[in-house]
Structure 1
Amino acid sequence: MKSKFWNYIFWLVIAAAFIGPGTVTTAASAGANYQLQLLWALLFSTLACIVVQEASARITIVSGKSLGQAIKDRFSNSSFVWFIGISIFLGCLAYEAGNILGAISGLALLNLGIPQWVFTSIIAGVSFLLLYFEKTKSVPQILGALVAIMGLGLFYAAFNVEVKWNELATGLFVPHLPEGSTLIVLGLIGTTIVPYNIFLGSGLAEGKELKSVRSGLIFSILLGGFISMAVVIVGTSVNGQFSFENLFNQLISDHGTVMGYAFAFGLFGAGFTSTITAALAGALTIRSVHPKGNSWSDQSLKFRRFWMAIILIGFGFGVSGIKPIPVIIAAQAANGLILPVLTFALCILCNSKLLLSHKNGMWLNLAMMVTLFATSILGLINVSKAFHAIVGIDFSFTGINQWFIVTLSIAVVTFTVFQIQKERRVNI
């Protein structure tokens, strides 16, 4: 019983990784602008996240190879694997400052009168020391406990917001796209299914039993999804333009000081845990794709230098207050391509002889195709937004843009179905 409990706590690191400041911002904005109408998008993205995270962990456990090595062996292309690895590392690097500043935003709501650079130094310093002195396998348990506490704060806030149960059920189970909500819906999906999380989960699954990993992942991702839904509910409290400060003040006005503090702590927890997981995931990703990565221990300088770089660069941007816009745009474009490419690779690997009796069945393949379609749309939108930002044009997911992206996503799914059929015929 005790080992099961710690297994669940361990895998809460995945929830810690995708519940960052971006998730809180997007979910709260969804609640503020559309009330409970977009909860279905979080339900879908939570289930889709379970599908891809379980697939990556299953590949690692059954094959005995890291995810990067499994992809390289199957597709016989090291440059393809390096493109995935470097793109994900670049994403971790670009968003680290946002994670640190998100944590500071939570503390700033409390009006403690402490300069931003002090908070930035403390958050970066604690993250650095935690990763330096703790083994990679131990850090998730600490982060898991923090996520549990953060979740309690946000659940407390959500349960104190008055909602109509019929509206909650409708928003959760009846897909509906209010006018102007398409990008918010895709944002909710994009902040839940995160490329670096796929490598993070795979790296942490090495040497573990499939049954315990599967149960831990499902528990963690479901809890993370519920926390995101709680943020949507809390966001419905906002009157007028959404901002963290407006939501904080509204919660205090409607429900008292404790409610405001619960939200502020939740926002801090989201940023702090994501600061650590982004750095850890970046290092695990490079170790996974590097030819000699298997020989890197958690304490080796070769492994540590990658998470050190992410934290230090994030700290630098956080202290200066400068947003690395060019790097963020490049990361958005690269990660936009990576998510559907990585989902495609998982689809092929889960139907290959590599997994023996643990290959996908019909229902899992269907779930992965739906996930691939959604991630393809999301990825193409991110690439389009990055391109439009470079040329200085506003992007709109309407008209010819929408038609082109949806059509291309259907083509990606169709191609993948044929590749899966070919893969399974080869394995007979």
Structure 2
Amino acid sequence: MKNILRNIGPGTLVAAAFIGPGTVTVCTLAGAGFGYSLLWAMVVSILATIVLQEMASRVGIVTQKGLSQVIQENISGQYLRVFSLLLILAAIIVGNSAYEGGNISGAVLGLEALFGKPGYNFYPGVVGILAAAILMVQNYKAMERILITLVLLMSISFVLTAILTGPNFMEILKGMFVPAVNDSNILMVAALVGTTVVPYNLFLHASLVKERWQNIDGLKASRIDTVASIALGGVVSMCIIISSAAMNVNDITSVLDLAESLEPLFGNAARYFLGVGLFAAGITSAVTAPLAAAYVAKSCFGWQGGLQDFRFRVVWLIVLFVGVILQTMGIQPIELIKFAQVANGILLPVIAVFLFWVVNKSSVLGKYRNTVPQNILTFIIVLFTVFLGVKSIIKVFDLF
């Protein structure tokens, strides 16, 4: 345990990135609509995330380069290289700007649960300023500690909420290990996986590990960090599903509805637990989404500066500013998330294939390239991400 705690770092920021308001909402709806039966989908999602993120972090540590830079260097055709980089850059920055509106909305909802609605809604500005203050920290380790603290606060809030509901543990075990897929739940399965396996996290992770470990000696520590952090993120997501499922009501449409359903049993404490959790989920994602966009831009354009580089700050500031504007315009968060889901559906299979290709190149990773068992597992995941991407696009456009 001491070794795990010492090596916790970039993986926790990845967990903070995927446990945003979108994840909280999807997990709440999954529990309310399907009980414990879709917990297995979250288990699969976490395993897939661990495999993909481990590969991305391995690329970052071994090459000491960003993922988009490695992809660029290994595509021989000039037009294909330019097209790939433009696709990555556009989807990450545009997609993250859309997600950012939802992230800020989630943090605002958390503040409203804790302090009530003000006469004039100044909460988006508060969230934006707080996120900018964290991003302005010039020391990576200091930023890492701030976000880890917020993730732990979020984790405690949601775990305590799940315990308070008095769940059925036998049903939980059944839901975790007995897959159930049918026409009625397939889109929710796709949503659960899609909100966990996030393409921009692959770029974020490959860049963050370079800040923490400067040579291949950090590979073991990075694997411990990845497995422990993402597993914790999975536990948090499952706790949200469990909390919603344990209430056995069908009219829950958001996490605040869940809080109101819990109040007759546990009083105002339920609202505060969930309010803290939702605020922490929103603010951590509101920091990591612009951070990921800035790292992708840095890698695509070959910028050499660090966190304090002016160009780097301009990118995350634009993404954060767009998110605040979208939130204050009154656009429904679900519409923003739908738009971002299109980018996610297109980008995830493409990036998964690129990553699969890169980690098998001896010229890139040498003896640290994928083994045969890793390739079999990764190939299955890549096929699944292609299926997920198609389903996500179909879902958004209601093609069928």
TM-score by length of 2: 0.91
In structure 2, the CA distance between the partners of 1:325 and 1:153, relative to structure 1 (3 Å rule), is: closer
| Partner residue, 2:361 | 352
Query: How many Å apart are 1:306 and its aligned residue?
Result: 0.4
| Partner residue, 2:375 | 365
Question: Cα deviation per residue 1:105-155 (whole Å; 9 max; x = unaligned)?
Answer: 122223524246311111000111221133344322211111111101111
Structure 1 residue 240 and structure 2 residue 254: aligned?
no
| Partner residue, 1:37 | 37
**Conserved in 2, the CA contact under 8 Å of 1:11 and 1:144?**
no
Larger CA deviation: 130-139 vs 225-234: 130-139
In structure 1, C-alpha distance between the alignment counterparts of 2:119 and 2:319, rounded to whole Å: 23
What's the secondary structure of 2:152's corresponding residue?
helix
| Partner residue, 1:68 | 68
Structure 1 residue 96 and structure 2 residue 100: aligned?
yes
| Partner residue, 1:59 | 59
Match of 1:166 among 161, 166, 170: 170
Query: How many Å apart are 1:79 and its aligned residue?
Result: 2.6
Q: Which amino acid aligns with 1:155?
A: V
| Partner residue, 2:282 | 271
Structure 1 residue 84 and structure 2 residue 88: aligned?
yes
Larger CA deviation: 199-208 vs 183-192: 199-208
- For structure 1, which runs of at least 5 residues remain unmatched after alignment? 389-393, 397-428
Query: How many Å apart are 1:225 and its aligned residue?
Result: 0.3
**Conserved in 1, the CA contact under 8 Å of 2:256 and 2:271?**
no
Question: Cα deviation per residue 1:71-116 (whole Å; 9 max; x = unaligned)?
Answer: 1111232331231122111110111111101111122223524246
**Conserved in 2, the CA contact under 8 Å of 1:9 and 1:145?**
no
In structure 2, C-alpha distance between the alignment counterparts of 1:53 and 1:11, rounded to whole Å: 8
In structure 2, C-alpha distance between the alignment counterparts of 1:369 and 1:16, rounded to whole Å: 26
Structure 1 residue 195 and structure 2 residue 199: aligned?
yes
In structure 2, C-alpha distance between the alignment counterparts of 1:327 and 1:110, rounded to whole Å: 24
Query: How many Å apart are 1:317 and its aligned residue?
Result: 1.6
Query: How many Å apart are 1:3 and its aligned residue?
Result: 7.8
Q: Which has the higher contact order (CA 8 A, sep 6+)?
A: 2
| Partner residue, 1:259 | 270
TM-score by length of 1: 0.86
| Partner residue, 1:299 | 308
In structure 2, the CA distance between the partners of 1:105 and 1:116, relative to structure 1 (3 Å rule), is: farther
In structure 2, C-alpha distance between the alignment counterparts of 1:331 and 1:172, rounded to whole Å: 28
| Partner residue, 1:131 | 135
Structure 1 residue 310 and structure 2 residue 314: aligned?
no
- For structure 2, which runs of at least 5 residues remain unmatched after alignment? none
| Partner residue, 1:24 | 24
Structure 1 residue 282 and structure 2 residue 282: aligned?
no
| Partner residue, 2:222 | 213
What's the secondary structure of 1:110's corresponding residue?
helix
What's the secondary structure of 1:133's corresponding residue?
coil
| Partner residue, 2:260 | 249
In structure 2, the CA distance between the partners of 1:371 and 1:115, relative to structure 1 (3 Å rule), is: farther
Match of 2:151 among 139, 147, 153: 147
In structure 2, C-alpha distance between the alignment counterparts of 1:30 and 1:347, rounded to whole Å: 30
In structure 2, the CA distance between the partners of 1:62 and 1:224, relative to structure 1 (3 Å rule), is: same
| Partner residue, 2:124 | 120
**Conserved in 2, the CA contact under 8 Å of 1:30 and 1:232?**
yes
Q: Which amino acid aligns with 2:19?
A: I
| Partner residue, 1:378 | 388
Question: Cα deviation per residue 1:187-246 (whole Å; 9 max; x = unaligned)?
Answer: 010010101111111110115111111111111100000000000001111523113332
**Conserved in 2, the CA contact under 8 Å of 1:10 and 1:144?**
no
In structure 1, C-alpha distance between the alignment counterparts of 2:336 and 2:265, rounded to whole Å: 40
Q: How many residues align?
A: 388
Query: How many Å apart are 1:358 and its aligned residue?
Result: 0.9
**Conserved in 2, the CA contact under 8 Å of 1:100 and 1:271?**
yes
Q: Which amino acid aligns with 1:157?
A: T
**Conserved in 1, the CA contact under 8 Å of 2:138 and 2:307?**
no
In structure 2, C-alpha distance between the alignment counterparts of 1:152 and 1:340, rounded to whole Å: 33
What's the secondary structure of 2:37's corresponding residue?
coil
Q: How does 1:321-336 map to 2 (within 5 A)?
A: 321-323=330-332, 331-336=340-345
Structure 1 residue 338 and structure 2 residue 342: aligned?
no
Q: Which amino acid aligns with 1:8?
A: I
Query: How many Å apart are 1:267 and its aligned residue?
Result: 1.1
What's the secondary structure of 2:180's corresponding residue?
coil
| Partner residue, 2:184 | 180
Query: How many Å apart are 1:355 and its aligned residue?
Result: 1.0
In structure 2, the CA distance between the partners of 1:229 and 1:357, relative to structure 1 (3 Å rule), is: same
In structure 2, the CA distance between the partners of 1:116 and 1:283, relative to structure 1 (3 Å rule), is: farther
In structure 2, C-alpha distance between the alignment counterparts of 1:45 and 1:73, rounded to whole Å: 30
Two-structure CA RMSD over aligned residues (Å):
2.1
In structure 2, the CA distance between the partners of 1:84 and 1:14, relative to structure 1 (3 Å rule), is: same
Query: How many Å apart are 1:167 and its aligned residue?
Result: 1.1
**Conserved in 2, the CA contact under 8 Å of 1:20 and 1:271?**
yes
Structure 1 residue 225 and structure 2 residue 222: aligned?
no
Query: How many Å apart are 1:30 and its aligned residue?
Result: 0.6
